[in-house]
Amino acid sequence: MQRPTIEQLKELRKFANELELQYVDAAIAHKNNYGRAAASLGKARSSLRDSINKLAGTAAKHGFAPEQGLTHPTPPGFEVKKTSTLYDADGEIRLQWQIINQEVEGAKKALAAFAEAASESLKREKPIPPPKGVIGDLLNLYVITDYHIGMRSWPDETGDDWDTDIAEDMLYRWFASAIKAAPKAHTAIFGQIGDFLHYDGLEAVTPASRHVLDADTRYQKLVRVAIRAIRRIVRELLKNHEHVHLIMADANHDESGSAWLRELLHALYDEEPRVTVDRSADTYYCYEWGLTSLFFHHGHKRKPELVDTVFAQKFREVFGRTKHAYGHMGHYHHEKTLETNLMIVRQHRTLAAKDAYASRAGYLSGRSADVVTYHKEYGEVGRISLSPEMI
């Protein structure tokens, strides 16, 4: 593929995702020297080249490919379906026709699948009597991250078996064990901190980079299982806690999935005063519990070493009022705990099996999920880690 000029690179910026933008800006800054640009980012030259070539293909779908005579980008939300070009005897373009389609067609189909799946049981949850004997100063945080419902893992390839049915069954069994093992706290947070769904539409690819994923089911079934599982888990949590708070964090595998989950759950529980849902459209979340503050971010935008200042800045008032601060993250699938000058940041494991990509790359972290208990005055007072073998 012909290398874009500096001016063309500037135009390509309009079509770039976050990573592609870094590569393009580096190429522009180093006057289109791919070797120097890649070195400035600590990346391989081939990675930068391939990313820019892929970006050029994306731009072409949206009507911008100067080497092919396409210089009129489509309006936002549209992409080129077909192009017809008439050349004169000297090879110059005389006429050109473009047929464009709405880019959102795939999203509409995904939304229709979601609506059909949700309509089966979209009845408001009615209030149920609160439990007796809860401990008023305690909160249990049930952390689920990178659960990847809809992923397929073949044991001959990865050493683990995983599909949608296994994922649903394990989630129920884990929560049953976790609720039984944890103290009867006043409040429960279902802290689902990202990548609950393995993919985000009718195509089994990541939304931004469009990496092809190992999938075992259709999107409609994935949606159906997610809704059914969360409703069942919330009912169990309500039997053991006075108040249940739901966090469905934004993440890189299910950007739109997390959005519709938040809104759906808010609608489902609008008649149940003992359930609250964090509907924030941001990718950072917070919950205040007495002198204890809890912060959440998947980890796809900010690393554990740098996230504490983001939490403190975004939730300045909560951070200022509280004495004990804790950040919770996922994304990397392995456990790590950092104590900074501002807070303790914990990166959590996942219960899910490895996929082929992780297995081949040698990412072989253990599998577990935590229940962390917090006191209003003293901060963290207990933690229970449950692995698949234990449940």
Which pLDDT band, with edges at 50, 70 and 90, does 38 fall under? very high
Kindly indicate the confidence band of residue 102, based on its pLDDT and cuts at 50, 70 and 90: very low
Can you tell me the mean pLDDT for 178-202? 95
Q: Of residues 281 and 16, which shows the higher confidence score?
A: 281
Q: What is the spatial distance between Cα 356 and Cα 153, in angstroms, rounded to a whole number?
A: 7
What was the pLDDT predicted at 104?
47
Going from N- to C-terminal start, the domains of the chain cover 6-75, 124-390
Q: Which amino acid is at 246?
A: L
Q: Averaged over 258-287, what is the pLDDT?
A: 94
Q: Which two tokens stand for residue 342?
A: 């501002």
- Structure-token pair, residue 306: 């740098």
Q: For residues 327 and 319, is the Cβ–Cβ distance under 8 A?
A: no
Q: Cα 186 to chain center, whole Å? A: 29
Mean pLDDT (whole number) for 151-168:
92
Determine the length of the chain. Answer: 391
For residue 163, what pLDDT is reported? 94
Percent of the chain clearing pLDDT 70 (strictly above): 84
Top-level class of domain 124-390? alpha beta
Strand partners of residue 244: 188, 275
What is the tens place of the pLDDT at every residue in 54-99?
A: 888 878 776 666 665 555 555 444 454 555 555 566 666 555 555 5
Tell whether the torsion through CA atoms of 104, 105, 106 and 107 is positive or negative: positive
Closest CA to 333 of 345, 350, 346: 350
pLDDT at site 100: 45
**pLDDT recorded at residue 356:** 84
Average pLDDT over every residue of 375-381: 98
Highest mean pLDDT among 48-57, 65-74, 304-313: 304-313
Amino acid occupying residue 95 = L
In the prediction, which pLDDT does 58 show? 79
- Cα separation, 75 vs 122, in Å, equals 36
Residue 55 has what pLDDT?
87
Report pLDDT for 93: 55
Residue 373 and residue 185 in contact, taking contact as beta carbons nearer than 8 Å: yes
pLDDT for the residue numbered 208: 77
Nearest-angstrom CA–CA distance, 76 and 70:
16
Express each pLDDT in 347-376 by its tens digit. 999 999 998 878 888 888 899 999 999 999
Long-range contacts from 72-78, C-beta under 8 angstroms, 24+ separation = 72/98, 73/14, 74/98, 74/100, 75/100, 77/102, 77/103, 77/104, 78/102, 78/103
What sign results for the dihedral spanned by CA atoms 55, 24, 208, 102? negative
The mean pLDDT of 149-162, rounded to a whole number, is 91
Q: What is the mean pLDDT of the chain?
A: 87
Q: Is pLDDT at 385 greater than 90 in this prediction?
A: yes
Q: Which has the minimum average pLDDT: 160-164, 250-254, 353-357? A: 353-357
For residue 234, CA distances in Å to 147, 190, 223, 242, 272 come to 17, 8, 17, 12, 11
Average pLDDT over residues 234-263: 95
Give 1 or 254, the one with higher predicted confidence: 254
Cβ neighbours of 201 (radius 10 Å): 20
Residue 272 has pLDDT above 70, yes or no: yes
9-23, 138-152, 165-179, range with the lowest pLDDT:
9-23
pLDDT for res 182: 98
Please tell me the pTM assigned to this model.
Answer: 0.72
Residue 165 pLDDT exceeds 50: yes
